[in-house]
Amino acid sequence: MAPSAALAKVDHIQGVARVTRPQTNSTLPSGRYGTLVLACTMALLAGPAVGTAYAEPDKPGLEEIRKRIERLHDKAGSATDAYNAAEDAVKKQQKHIVKLAKRIETTQGKLDELNRTAGAMARAQYRGGGMPDEAKLMLGGDPEKFLHNVSLARKGQHATRGFIGTLTKTRGRLQGYAKDATDEWKKLEKTRKKKAAAKKKITAQLKQAKKIESGLKKDELERLRRLEDEAAKARQAKWLKSGVLKNLKGKASPAGRRAIEWATKQLGKDYVWGAEGPDTFDCSGLTMRAWEAAGVRIPRTSQEQWKQLPHVPIGKMRPGDLIIYKKDASHVGIYIGDGALLHAPRTGRQITVEGAGTMPILGVVRPDK
C-alpha cells in the first residue's frame, strides 16, 4: 500500500509540504517512519524550481500585514510559554502546600499529645504538694531506699528534660511548617497573577490578529495565505542551500521512533494555546506528550526544554530530537528526518509537517541523550 494512502494526504502548497490528519485508523509501522517523512517532504527538499513564478503582485500593504500578523502570533507564542510555565509552577506549588498541610496536621497531633502529657505531669506534681522528688527522697525514713531511689530521680530528671526538648522541637517544627505554608501561599498567589497576565496578553494578541484578518476580503485572505507559504518556502530553501542535510546520517533511537509514531497520530488536531492533549495541543504540549509516550519525561515548556535538555549540534541531530525556535525559545517541534518537522504551529492551524528551516532555529535538544 502506498504510504500516502495508508498514512496521510500530502498537499504541496508553493513547494512546502503540509500534512493533514490521516483519514484512516492506520498507524505508523515501527521502524518505517522514514516512509512518511519521504512522502511528506520530497517537494520540500527539492526547493523552488528555477524560473518558477510566485503569486501575482499583491496590493501595497499585504506583505506588511502578513509580517504584522506573524509578529502578533510570535508574541502570543511567547506569552503562551509564560502561561504554561506559570501553570506548571501553580501545580507544583499546590502540591507542596498540600504536603505542608499534611505535615502541619501530623505535627499538631503530636504537639497535642505532648501537651496532654505535660498537663498530666503538672497535675501529678500538684497532687504531690509541689515538692520536688529529691526532697521527698531525702525526707524519707529509709536510708537504703533513699540511695536506691537517687538513681531513679536522676533518670526521671533526664526523662523530663527529654520530654521538654521533644515538646520544644515539635513546636518549632510546627511553626516552621506554618511559615513555609504561608510563604508558599504567597508564591502561589504571585504565580497566579503571572498566569492571568500571560493569559490576558495572549488573548489581546490573538484578538488583534483576528481583527486584522477579518478586515480582509476573501481574495486577500487567500493571497495572504500564499504569502505565508512563500515566505516559509523561501526560508526552507535558504536553510537547505546551506547544506545542512548532507552530513545528517543519524538514526532515531527506539524512544525517538516511539515519540515520532505517537506524534504522527496527532496530525490534523487543532493547536490550542495552553493545551497538552489529548484532543488539542500547543507546541510544547505536543512534544512533552510525545516523549512521555516514549517513556521519557521532559519539561512542560519549550523554554525549559531548551534549558534543561542536552543540546545537540544541528549537524548531528537525528529524528526524534526537538528543534527549538526563535530567540526566546518560544516554539518547538519534533525533527522527523529528511529536513522535516512535525509540530503544532499556532492558533488557527493544525498539527502538521513542514520544513524544519521555515522558522529561525535557536538550537536542538535531545530528550534521551
Q: Give yes or no: 148 in active site.
A: no
- Averaging pLDDT over each range in 52-66, 172-186, 333-347, which range is the top one? 333-347
E strands along the chain, which residues?
Answer: 10-13, 16-19, 311-312, 322-325, 331-337, 340-343, 352-355, 361-365
The residue that leads in pLDDT, 310 or 84, is 310
Cell numbers standing for residue 24:
484512516
Which one is catalytic: 12, 148, 311, 343?
343
Lowest mean pLDDT among 36-50, 279-293, 354-368: 36-50
- Mean per-residue pLDDT over the chain, rounded: 78
Lowest mean pLDDT among 90-104, 112-126, 149-163, 287-301: 149-163
Torsion of CA 111, 115, 118, 122, to 10 degrees: 170
Which residues lie below 8 Å from residue 292, measured CB to CB, with a gap of 6+? 298
pLDDT for 146 equals: 53
Cell 489529548: give the residue: 278
Torsion of CA 303, 308, 313, 315, to 10 degrees: -70
Please give the model's pTM, rounded to 2 decimal places: 0.64
Q: Give yes or no: 343 in active site.
A: yes
In this predicted structure, the answer to whether residue 342 has a pLDDT above a threshold of 70 is yes
What confidence tier does 122 reach under pLDDT thresholds 50, 70, 90?
Answer: low
Lowest mean pLDDT among 77-91, 133-147, 212-226: 133-147
Task: Report d(CA 311, CA 308) in Å as an integer.
Answer: 9
Which one is catalytic: 40, 148, 283, 311?
283
Of all residues in the chain, what percent carry a pLDDT higher than 70? 72
pLDDT for 168 equals: 81
Which one is catalytic: 12, 40, 158, 331?
331
In this predicted structure, the answer to whether residue 134 has a pLDDT above a threshold of 70 is no
Task: Report d(CA 127, CA 88) in Å as an integer.
Answer: 59
In this predicted structure, the answer to whether residue 78 has a pLDDT above a threshold of 50 is yes
Span 251-272, mean pLDDT? 96
CATH topology of domain 3-50+217-365: endopeptidase fold (from Nostoc punctiforme) (3.90.1720)
> H or E segment at 147?
helix 143-214
Cell numbers standing for residue 51:
524560473
What confidence tier does 150 reach under pLDDT thresholds 50, 70, 90?
Answer: low
pLDDT for 6 equals: 30
Q: Give yes or no: 331 in active site.
A: yes
In this predicted structure, the answer to whether residue 301 has a pLDDT above a threshold of 90 is yes
In this predicted structure, the answer to whether residue 38 has a pLDDT above a threshold of 90 is no
